[in-house]
Structure 1
Amino acid sequence: MTQQQRQALDELLRHSPLDVGGDIAEQRAIFHEMIASVPLPDDVSAKQDELGGVPVVVVETPNLDPSAVILYLHGGAYALGSAPDSVGLAADVARRVGARAISVNYRLAPEHPFPAAVDDAVAAYRALLDHAVPASRIAFVGESAGGGLVAATLVALGQAGLPQPSSAALFSPWADLTVSGASAVGKATLDPALTPEALRTRARDYLGGQDPATPLASPIFADLTGLPPLLIQVGSHEILLDDAIRLTAHAAEHDIAVELQVWPQVPHVFQSFAAILDDADHALNAAATFINRNWSN
């Protein structure tokens, strides 16, 4: 079944109306419609709130540990998506971990270019600490641009002198806005969802004229010293494969406890398809195990 599931998902994505590099307003609407077409489980609660002046969505599932928080950063190439759109995947992670998830509705480009997203993520984390949630009971999770934003935020926390969270799980992180990884070319025909051209378009929107190699925009170029344990998951059929591999190696060079999981023949952020893909289910379970292993009291 697994191979059939992978092929079916590939076909589904190849016929998707979403064009990550297309017109912003149009693609935001398409992105939202695609997400909204999948109903949330009845036992998922999603409430609008704010943290440090940043809008968030608090996601809860049954039997959660009230002391533990997943700070979730959604994907969308820094220009698409939202915290409400992320509730499905955030809830799936939260349920498996047994913690509430707080999805950050960080500001999007091109209206709010870099470093607005980083600033918002740091502000939300700082507010959690101010609300007496210990850093040791917070884990970051992010997918795609949100995965790169997790890494950048962790670097920014260190620069601000804030304590690091217990761990971070990055799903298909976009960590290099120069789009210079070999897989940007080598995996282009296999990736059913992303193109190098689309990423470069959105990178220009996000950067607002700044150097794409700026460390807090492209954490693959940052000093990662002092980061918490990292789990990086990626599919072998995505152009961002090299981002994950190089970010893992870069973290290891800075003495970070880091795990890389490459799942064969699956696409970008395959974890969001757990309902139809066994690989996604297994990957999310692995992420939950990783996060739970790194909590401390």
Structure 2
Amino acid sequence: MGKAQRDAVNAAIREAAKGLVADTIDERRALFETRAQPGDTRGLTATETVLGGRPALEIIDEARDAGTLLYFHGGGYVVGSHRTGARLAAELVRRTGLRAWSLDYRLAPEHRIPAAALDGLAAYRELLERGADPAHIVIAGDSAGGHLTVGTLLLARDAGLPMPAAAVVFSPMSDLAMTGASLTSKGGVDPIFTRADIEFFAAQQVGDGGIDSPIASPGRVGDLRGLPPFLIQTGSYEVLLSDSVLLAGRLGEADVDVTLEIVGGVPHVFPDLFGQLDEADAALDRAAAFIDGRLAVAAPVAALAE
């Protein structure tokens, strides 16, 4: 896990990003969709389905069924789908034995906040209605999907639904007002994004309540009390670093168990670089251990409820 490997990966990402320039949102979506590859769910059973009224990809390890994972893809709420989210969802399935649903929530600017969070809530509600034990459900997501994880949990809590066992978020957005210092200070080292990039994504998604609504900026203005334990993993080479730090601090202030991991010299959603970056594989192993630990803690509670 040396600096040379991190530097090489960051340089490769920076070079690849030059070929991902698009003039329109449709072109951005088409380019981002190429991230989905047939090998993402290798060795697992992946089935197109519907959850909460939205397309979803159900991903199963036929040999195990340890619980349920609801996964939200990244893409700034503008690009991405249940297929692009399958890569990380599948990797968590391999490591934990959870049955995953990668959700294709509605995108901006056609559907602004809180549309995606309402989709997340509908998906979570349907899992509960199907009989999934909340003590054995984990909600996870990367980037915008991490932001959506928090928004979904806030809506579920306010609706009186039981909380899942845990939440895992990779490089989450948490404040659409963009008050974090890293949006500027990390602009020169982040190989993927600049502040202007994040400003573009934020402008597409802000809807009802503006940037000061709890769903838009949960890390800054959200009431986070009563949420489940969180694991936050982020890299030091990303403009959204401050968003992770802000979210972790606010969760702690709300008496929520939270683990924040900042890995030096790695980029946005670095766990997605598993197989290429040692730190990514190690981070996913820690995420799996966190999930396994939370499910183990929840197991006696679930048994008592039966």
TM-score range, shorter chain: over 0.9
CA distance in 2, matches of 1:31, 1:140: 23
Deviations 1:41-76 (A, max 9, x none): 5312221111221221101235322x5011001000
Tell me the TM-score normalised to structure 2 length.
0.92
1:231 corresponds to which letter in structure 2?
L
Contact 1:178 1:213 in 2 (8 A): yes
Q: What does 1:272-287 correspond to in 2, within 5 Å?
A: 272-287=272-287
Q: Which residue of 1 aligns with 2:225?
A: 225
- Tell me what 1:82 maps to: 81
- 2:117 — aligned with what? 118
Match of 1:138 in 2: 137
Q: Distance in 1 between matches of 2:40 and 2:103?
A: 18
Distance in 1 of aligned mates of 2:141 and 2:41:
21
State how far apart, in whole Å, the 2-side matches of 1:254 and 1:41 are: 37
Once the two structures are TM-superposed, the CA of residue 208 in structure 1 deviates from its matched residue by 3.8
Q: What do residues 21-45 of structure 1 show as CA deviations (whole Å, max 9, x unaligned)?
A: 9521111111112333x73353122
Tell me the distance in 1 between the aligned counterparts of 2:71 and 2:212.
24
Equivalent position SS for 1:84: coil
Post-superposition Cα deviations, 1:78-123, rounded to whole Å, max 9, x if no partner, equal 0000011111111001111111111111000011111110000000
- Return the alpha-carbon distance in structure 1 between the equivalents of residues 288 and 43 of structure 2: 19
Alpha-carbon contact 1:83-1:104 (below 8 Å) kept: yes
Q: Which stretch of the first structure deviates more once superposed, 129-138 or 53-62?
A: 53-62
Percent of pairs with identical residues: 40
Letter in 1 for 2:60: E
Quote the RMSD (CA, aligned, Å): 1.5
CA distance in 2, matches of 1:63, 1:122: 29
1:167-206 matched pairs, under 5 angstroms: 167-206=166-205
Establish whether residue 31 from structure 1 lines up as the match of residue 20 from structure 2.
Answer: no
| Equivalent in the alignment of 2:261 | 261
1:18 partnered with 2:48:
no
CA distance in 2, matches of 1:78, 1:128: 23
Of 244-253 and 27-36, deviating more is 27-36
State the one-letter code of the partner of 2:20.
Answer: L
Amino acid at match of 2:36: I
- CA deviation digits over 1:179-225, x for unaligned, max 9? 11000011110101111111111111111475212111111120000
Contact kept in structure 2, 1:2 and 1:279, CA below 8 Å = no
1:228–1:41 CA distance, 2 compared to 1 (3 A): closer
| Equivalent position amino acid for 1:30 in 2 | L
Cα gap change, 1:275 to 1:22, in 2 (>3 Å) = farther
Q: Distance in 2 between matches of 1:5 and 1:22?
A: 33
**Match in the other structure for 1:212:** 211
1:42 & 1:225 partners in 2: Cα distance?
39
Which residue number in structure 1 is paired with residue 303 of structure 2? none
Equivalent residue letter for 1:31? F
In 1, the alpha carbon distance for the partners of 2:70 and 2:292 equals: 14
Name stretches of at least 5 consecutive residues in structure 2 with no aligned partner.
Answer: 300-306
Report the CA distance between 1:3 and its aligned residue.
1.8
Would you identify which runs of 4 or more consecutive aligned residues in structure 1 move more than 4 Å? none
Secondary structure at the aligned position of 2:75 is classed as coil
CA distance in 2, matches of 1:160, 1:209: 18
CA 198–22 in structure 1, closer or farther in 2 if over 3 Å, else same: farther
* Matched-pair contact (CA < 8 Å) for 1:152–1:218: no
- Distance in 1 between residues matched to 2:58 and 2:224, nearest whole Å: 29
Q: Which stretch shifts more, 190-199 or 114-123?
A: 190-199
CA contact (8 A) 1:178 1:200 kept: no
Tell me which amino acid in the other structure corresponds to 2:72.
L
